[in-house]
Amino acid sequence: MVTFTYGEELVLDRCLGILEERKSRFAPILRTQVSDLEQLAAIVDRAPSPRTDLYAHGDDRSIYSLTRKLCDQGVEHVVNLPTKAVLGHGFTVMKLHVFGFLSKLVKTEEPLAEVRGEVEMEYNDLLFTLMAEDLYTSLVSHEDVESLWVQKAAHELITMWDMRTSGYLETFALAIRELWQVRHAIVPILGTLLGTMELMRLSVMLPPVWLDFISDTAGSIAIVSALEEFIFDLSFEELTILRKKMEESHISLIDRNTAWLMLDKHEAAAVDANAALALYKSYMNRQQLAKRRTILSAEGPHKSLEEYFLIHLLSSEQHAPKFG
């Protein structure tokens, strides 16, 4: 297992070089973190692959049998996870914290300012790796093992456990980043006759992969609701209350800022400067709300927009990863 990607190693070497040249007190701290990561990577590497059945003399399990186990038993609880999955997840989190530490240093240590962009990029990539792993985990639990997209999701999850990467990761991460940027660039209108989905379809800023997704899923009320949650940064329940208030006040159109004011909500004073981190926090919040609705059989989307979108990618040959 490679401890650092080529890009991560370049950034770390530059930061360490600058810090050691200036005899910074942070240099040995960073050195220790790097050393700890290398040791953990070696331990992860020695952990048995989830594809190997230790009780059957090391014979490989089939992807299908593994997929069936994941779908039937679920993977929400740590006791159901292979050792390599738990250690590998911890390794990614630990690496994220190292680059999080660097992201703070580049703001306070002036000589490191020149690598601020590279540090943020590596930090963001690690965030999306964690998001993808969480998405695959969520998608395969208690699903129909015969569904092709479920089998693909399970295959990608097992690959992440083994290799800490996924064939769909680059496409997914780029697409979600682009939609998050569009979300801030456009002015969404709630209540328009066109609707949120149609407005997004008409946006010239929307990447082709999202246009495909919207075209294929425009008839789904759940996906429209998930998209509205993503765009307005409000829950389905809050949007329901908002629509009622609009009706009572005879308001037909409303933008995001006015929507928040009508609900007596205020954007946090310290908004995350890192867009990827803000997106990750938004995703985790929306996913938890979706899970709660599923448990309660309540109205509203039972998956986050990211989950619906990843299912679309897994179901589409057009967006399948290319190998070779």
Output the pLDDT for position 324: 37
Higher pLDDT, 320 or 307: 307
Report the alpha-carbon distance of residue 12 to residue 34 in Å, rounded.
9
User: What's the sign of the alpha-carbon dihedral 156, 160, 164, 170?
Assistant: positive
At CA 263, angle to CA 261 and CA 268, rounded to 5? 65
Report the 10 Å Cβ neighbour count for 222.
17
Distance CA 303, CA 29 (A): 41
Q: Give the range among 56-70, 76-90, 113-127, 295-309 with minimum mean pLDDT.
A: 56-70
Q: Taking a C-beta distance cutoff of 8 angstroms, is the pair 236, 171 a contact?
A: no
**pLDDT mean over 49-54:** 79
Residue 270 pLDDT grade (very low, low, confident, very high; cuts 50, 70, 90) = very low
CA distance 281 to 234: 13
Bridge partners (DSSP) of residue 273 are none
Q: What percent of the chain has pLDDT over 70?
A: 87
The Cα 74–Cα 40 span in angstroms is 27
Question: 167, exposed or middle or buried, with CB in 10 Å at 0-12, 13-18, 19+?
Answer: middle
pLDDT of amino acid 298: 97
Tokens representing 31 are 């050195």
- Tell me: pLDDT of 201 over 80: no
**Does position 170 have pLDDT exceeding 70, yes or no?**
yes
List, for residues 205-218, the tens digit of each pLDDT value: 778 888 889 888 87
Average pLDDT taken over every residue of the chain: 86
Q: Give every CB contact of residue 128 below 8 A, 6+ residues apart in sequence.
A: 169, 172, 173, 176, 177, 276
Report the range of poorest mean pLDDT among 114-123, 186-195, 239-248. 186-195
The mean per-residue pLDDT over the stretch 257-278 comes to 76
Distances (CA, A) of 294 to 31, 173, 201: 45, 26, 28
Averaged over 297-302, what is the pLDDT?
96
> What was the pLDDT predicted at 113?
92
Instruction: State the burial class of residue 280 (Cβ atoms within 10 Å of its Cβ: 0-12, 13-18, 19+).
Output: buried
- CA Rg value for the chain: 22
Q: Which of 7-11, 61-65, 200-204, 228-232 has the highest mean pLDDT?
A: 7-11
| Full-model pTM | 0.88
**Which of 46-55, 87-96, 186-195, 268-277 shows the lowest mean pLDDT across its residues?**
186-195
User: Which residue type, as a one-letter code, is found at position 263?
Assistant: L
